[in-house]
């Protein structure tokens, strides 16, 4: 009898530990201790491809387009960086950069350096007559 | 009577259309019997049939006028960084004087868009290249900033950017550590506009600069080049620049 009681108690502790171990990731993420990228899209409407494709393949699309534009003068708007910036610039800052900027927040999260905007404009062209 | 005239017109129109259609028939993919002239669609690549060029009438170019230089700076976002000796310079005014006769000229000098560009020959990465329509450009994605092209250019047309740049014109990406020079406002040409310098010169009423397709016999520049004597700077190098000067 006595040994059986100890066994049940140990079993209960083991079960509790297992449950805690299973719940741990849920608890951690629920408490938002891990920073997540901010993805604010102010402009309504659909992107040129679905989100999964865009997340995985946008660097390849941009590289392909840049070579076409630079060397062959093909200036279609679909995969051009200028169009990305047009749509995804924040309504507040007017830029895709900044801590909550569409490009920078994700690239910071993934720890991928973003070189595009050393040369390219991170803000859309202002309509004529509008002052910054 | 009027009905007849209309009939005649429509028949002529029909003939013109059918001729154009026949001429445009593809012999093989990409090869046509007659290349159809006209504006290029955005998804169409630049054509080898075109050779963009500039003609500068030095008789009309006034000494001290720098409208073209200012327009270039505004269009391409060339800002004064407070270091004039190292600031990028895409176009500059050069004052010339023949000491024997006293005749003075003032001419804008920019990238001469050579047919055989030395900057392209020396570039170790292939960043400096000539587009099919004759515009010489730097692909900044490939440029490593070695400055060989700056050394090789006999016209001193290339610069390097020494400082980080912000607030670029979205059409003209520019950045620290890359060689650059006049692009003939390629972003404007691709939209069927004229380079900013030419537009400014015409707008101010100087009419000293002409831009167009040297290969198109109907273009104003081709007709002027055929009619008036024009020279290329340092023609002895045999680089065949696309920029020509009249009255030099």
For the segment B51-61, what is each residue's pLDDT rounded down to a tens digit?
999 999 999 99
Contact A73 B40 (CB under 8 A): yes
Residues B22 and B104 both lie in one domain: no
Residue A124 CA: distances (Å) to CA of A19, A96, A97, A119:
51, 9, 12, 14
DSSP state of B45: P
Residues B22 and B110 both lie in one domain: no
Look at residue B41 and tell me if it is in a domain: no
Contact A120 B170 (CB under 8 A): yes
Residue A123: pLDDT over 80: yes
**Dihedral (C-alpha) A46, A48, A51, A57: value to the nearest 10 degrees?**
-170
Look at residue B123 and tell me if it is in a domain: yes
User: Which residues from chain A sit within 8 angstroms of residue B140, using beta carbons?
Assistant: 119
Residue B211's H or E segment, with its range, is: strand B209-213
Look at residue B43 and tell me if it is in a domain: no
Residues B28 and B146 both lie in one domain: no
How many structural domains is chain B composed of? 2
Look at residue B187 and tell me if it is in a domain: yes
Count CA atoms within 13 Å of residue B179 on its CB side. 29
How many other β-carbons are positioned within 10 Å of the β-carbon of residue B116?
12
DSSP state of A77: S
DSSP state of B165: -
What pLDDT is attached to residue A38?
A: 83
Confidence of residue B38 (pLDDT cuts 50, 70, 90): low
CA–CA dist B52, B137 (Å, integer) = 13
Crossing angle of helices B196-203 and B67-76, rounded to 10° = 140
DSSP state of A27: H
Residues B56 and B26 both lie in one domain: no
CA–CA dist B218, B70 (Å, integer) = 30
Residue A120: pLDDT over 60: yes
Beta-bridge partner residues of B114: B241
Helix, strand or coil, per DSSP, at residue B209: strand
Residue B93's H or E segment, with its range, is: strand B91-97
Show the domain range for B9.
2-32
Confidence of residue B6 (pLDDT cuts 50, 70, 90): very low
Q: Which among A66, A71, A74 is the nearest to B43, CB-wise?
A: A74
Look at residue B181 and tell me if it is in a domain: yes
Residues B19 and B104 both lie in one domain: no
Residues B26 and B56 both lie in one domain: no
CA–CA dist B91, B73 (Å, integer) = 9
What is the ipTM, given to two decimal places?
Answer: 0.79
Residues B110 and B171 both lie in one domain: yes
Within 8 A by CB and 6+ apart from B239, the residues are B112, B114, B115, B116, B117, B118, B154, B232
CA–CA dist B141, B129 (Å, integer) = 12
Contact A73 B186 (CB under 8 A): yes
Confidence of residue B220 (pLDDT cuts 50, 70, 90): very high
Burial class (CB in 10 A: 0-12, 13-18, 19+), B117: buried
Residues B143 and B193 both lie in one domain: yes
The rounded percent of chain B whose pLDDT value lies above 90 is 82
Cβ(B214)–Cβ(B197) under 8 Å? no
Structure tokens at B241: 């620049």
Q: Taking CB atoms and an 8 Å cut-off, how many pairs form between chains A and B?
A: 58
Look at residues A131, A122, A49 and name the one whose alpha carbon lies nearest to residue A86.
A122
**Dihedral (C-alpha) B66, B69, B74, B78: value to the nearest 10 degrees?**
-130
**Which chain B residue shows the shortest CA-CA distance from A65?**
B43
Longest Cα–Cα distance of chain A, Å, equals: 89
User: Number of helices and strands (H, E) in chain A?
Assistant: 5, 0
Residues B127 and B239 both lie in one domain: yes
Residues B25 and B67 both lie in one domain: no
Residues B60 and B12 both lie in one domain: no
Q: Which among B46, B141, B169 is the nearest to A121, CB-wise?
A: B169
pTM for the full model?
0.79
Tell me the per-residue pLDDT of B68-109, one tens digit each, with 9 for 90 and over: 999 999 999 999 999 999 999 999 999 999 999 999 999 999
Q: Give φ, ψ of B110 to 5 degrees.
A: -135, -170
Residue A30: pLDDT over 70: no
Residues B113 and B26 both lie in one domain: no
Structure tokens at B189: 């040409």
Contact A73 B170 (CB under 8 A): no
Q: What is the mean pLDDT of chain B?
A: 88
Say which CATH number the domain at B178 has: 3.30.70.20
């Amino acid at each position: 009898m006595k040994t059986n009681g100890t066994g049940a108690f140990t079993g209960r502790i083991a079960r509790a530990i297992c449950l805690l171990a299973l719940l741990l990731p849920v608890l951690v993420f629920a408490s938002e201790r891990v920073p997540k990228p901010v993805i604010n899209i102010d402009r309504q409407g659909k992107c040129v491809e679905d989100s999964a494709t865009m997340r995985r393949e946008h660097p390849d699309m941009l590289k392909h387009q840049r070579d076409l534009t630079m060397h062959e003068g093909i200036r279609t708007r679909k995969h051009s960086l200028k169009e990305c910036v047009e749509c995804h610039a924040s309504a507040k800052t007017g830029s895709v950069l900044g801590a909550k900027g569409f490009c920078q927040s994700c690239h910071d999260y993934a720890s991928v350096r973003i070189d595009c905007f050393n040369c390219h404009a991170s803000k859309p062209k202002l309509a004529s007559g509008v002052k910054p | 009577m009027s009905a007849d005239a209309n009939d005649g017109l429509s028949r002529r129109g029909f003939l013109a259309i059918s001729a154009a259609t026949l001429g445009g028939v593809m012999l093989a993919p990409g090869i046509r019997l007659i290349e159809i002239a006209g504006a290029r669609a955005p998804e169409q690549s630049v054509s080898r049939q075109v050779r963009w060029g500039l003609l500068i009438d030095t008789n009309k170019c006034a000494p001290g006028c720098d409208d073209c230089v200012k327009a270039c700076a505004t269009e391409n976002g060339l800002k004064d960084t407070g270091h004039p000796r190292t600031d990028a310079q895409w176009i500059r005014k050069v004052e010339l004087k023949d000491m024997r006769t006293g005749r003075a000229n003032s001419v804008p000098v920019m990238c001469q868009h050579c047919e055989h560009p030395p900057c392209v020959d020396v570039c170790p990465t292939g960043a400096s290249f000539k587009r099919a329509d004759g515009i010489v450009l730097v692909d900044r994605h490939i440029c490593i900033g070695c400055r060989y092209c700056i050394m090789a250019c006999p016209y001193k047309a290339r610069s390097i950017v020494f400082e980080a740049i912000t607030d670029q014109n979205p059409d003209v990406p520019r950045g620290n550590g890359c060689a650059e020079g006049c692009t003939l406002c390629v972003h404007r040409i691709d939209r069927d506009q004229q380079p900013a310098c030419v537009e400014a010169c015409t707008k101010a009423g100087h009419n000293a600069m002409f831009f167009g397709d040297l290969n198109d016999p109907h273009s104003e520049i081709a007709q002027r080049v055929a009619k008036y004597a024009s020279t290329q700077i340092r023609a002895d190098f045999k680089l065949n620049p696309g920029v020509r000067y009249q009255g030099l």
